[in-house]
Amino acid sequence: MTLSRLLSAAVAALWLAAATAAPAPQTIRIGVASPTVGSPPIFTAGPFGIAYSKGWLEQEFKRDGIKVEWFFFKGAGPAVNEALTNKQLDFALQGDLPSVVARSVGLKTRILAMQGVRTNLYLAVPPDSPIKSVADLKGRKVGIFLGTNLQLPSDRVLADHQLSERDLRVVNLDLAGIDNALITRNIDAGFTDQRVLKLRDKGLARIVYTTRGTAPRYTRQNALLVADDFATRYPDATTRVVRALVRASRWVSDPANEAETYRLWAQMGVPESVIREDLSGEPLRSQYSPLLDDFAVARYRDVADGLLALKLVRRPVAVPGWFDRSFLDAALKAEGLTGYWQPVNAAGSNVAKAAPAAKASQARS
C-alpha cells in the first residue's frame, strides 16, 4: 500500500472513531428495577441507592451540563427490559434473571459492575399455616415474582424437594403484593426477600425456608448494565457512571460509615434490625464488591443454563463476552482502588488474601 493510501486510511479511521465516540451525552438515563417509597420519593438500596440519595452522579456531571434522569420501575426487571428495548434508558440496575432473558432475545447490553451479590431468598407462610416445609407446597397457592431474579432460585428450591411450578398454583405477585397476600391469607405461601422478616417480627408471617448460608446457586445477583450503543458512543461518560458506583461501594465498605449506611437503607421501609439480620455473616465490603470476578461470571452462566433447562429462554446465552471489565478497571484505577476488593472464584471462595485498603479519595457526603 502506498504512503498516500496509508494516510487516507488513517484519516478515515480517525474520522470514524470521532464520529462513533461522541464527546458527551446531553442526558444520562438510568433505570432501576425497583420502585421508590414515600413522597418525596426515596431510593437508598445498595451502593447506588446511596449514590442516588446523596446526589453524587448529579454532582459528577453538573459541571458539564449533563442531566441525569432516574426511572424507577415497580414492574422490576421485565419493565426495565421493555424500556431498554425501546431505547428509553442508557443504564440499568437489574437482577440476573431478567437481564439474561433480555440477552437471549438479542438486547445488546454490557455488564459493567456488580451492585449486590449473594442476595437471600425466603419462603414465608401465614403464622398459623399447616405448611412446615417446602415439600408441603404441593397443590398450594404460592406467590412468586415471575420474570425477576427471585424466580430461578425459587424453582431450584422447589426442585430440591421434587417439585416444580407446575405442582403449585403459582400467582405472579410483586414483593409488596406477596406481603399483602400473606397478611390477608390470599396465598398459602410466598417466595420473597428480606422484607418478610418485618412481617415475621410482627407475628404476621412465619419463615419456612431461607437460602441464607446455602450454596451460591440459590442466591441472586444484581448488576449495573449499559446499552451497548451508549458505551460505544460515550466511553468517558460510561466510565464516570461506573466511578460513581465504585465510590458508593467503597463508602458502604468503610466501617466508619456502617451506622449511616444502615440508617439510609432502612428508609426504604425495612427496619435496620431486619437488614442487619439478612446480611449477617458477610462483611459489607464483600457483599457489595463491584468486581466482575469469576464468581459473578459463573452465577450469570448458571442462570443462563438454568433458564435454558427450564425452557424459560429459547436459546443459549454466551455469558463471558457480555462482561466488559474495561470501564470498571478504569474506574478502580482512577479512584485508587485497584486491589481494594478481593476477587471470588466460581465456587464462592476468596482467591487471595485481601489486599490492604488503598488510599481512596473519599466520596463526597
Ramachandran angles phi, psi of 5, nearest 5° = -70, -40
Q: What pLDDT, on a 0 to 100 scale, did the predictor assign at position 351?
A: 58
Query: Could you tell me how many residues make up the chain?
Result: 365
Instruction: Using the predicted structure, report yes or no on whether residue 307 has a pLDDT greater than 60.
Output: yes
Q: How confident is the prediction for the chain on average, in pLDDT?
A: 86
Q: What tens digit of pLDDT does each residue of 133-185 get? A: 999 999 999 999 887 778 888 988 998 899 999 999 999 998 889 999 999 99
What is this structure's pTM? 0.78
Q: Residue 115's pLDDT is what?
A: 86
Which architecture does CATH list for 122-210? Answer: 3-Layer(aba) Sandwich (3.40)
DSSP string, 82-124: HHHHTT--SEEEEEHHHHHHHHHTT--EEEEEEEEEEE--EEE
CB 178, CB 143: distance < 8 Å: yes
Give the C-alpha separation, 181 to 169, whole Å.
14
Domains 6-117+221-334 and 122-210 share a fold: yes
More confident residue, 92 or 347: 92
What percentage of residues in the chain have a pLDDT greater than 90? 54
Rounded to 5°, the CA angle 321-322-326 comes to 85
Query: What is the average per-residue pLDDT within 336-359?
Result: 71
pLDDT of residue 245: 92
Give the residue with greater pLDDT, 134 vs 286: 134
Distance CA 341, CA 338 (A): 8
* Distance from C-alpha of 153 to C-alpha of 358, rounded to nearest angstrom: 35
The stretch 177-197 carries a mean pLDDT of 92
The full set of domain ranges for the chain reads 6-117+221-334, 122-210
> What pLDDT is attached to residue 132?
94
As a whole number of Å, the CA-based R_g of the chain is: 22
> Could you say which architecture CATH assigns to the domain 6-117+221-334?
3-Layer(aba) Sandwich (3.40)
Q: Rounded to the nearest 10 degrees, what angle do helices 151-160 and 294-309 cross at?
A: 70
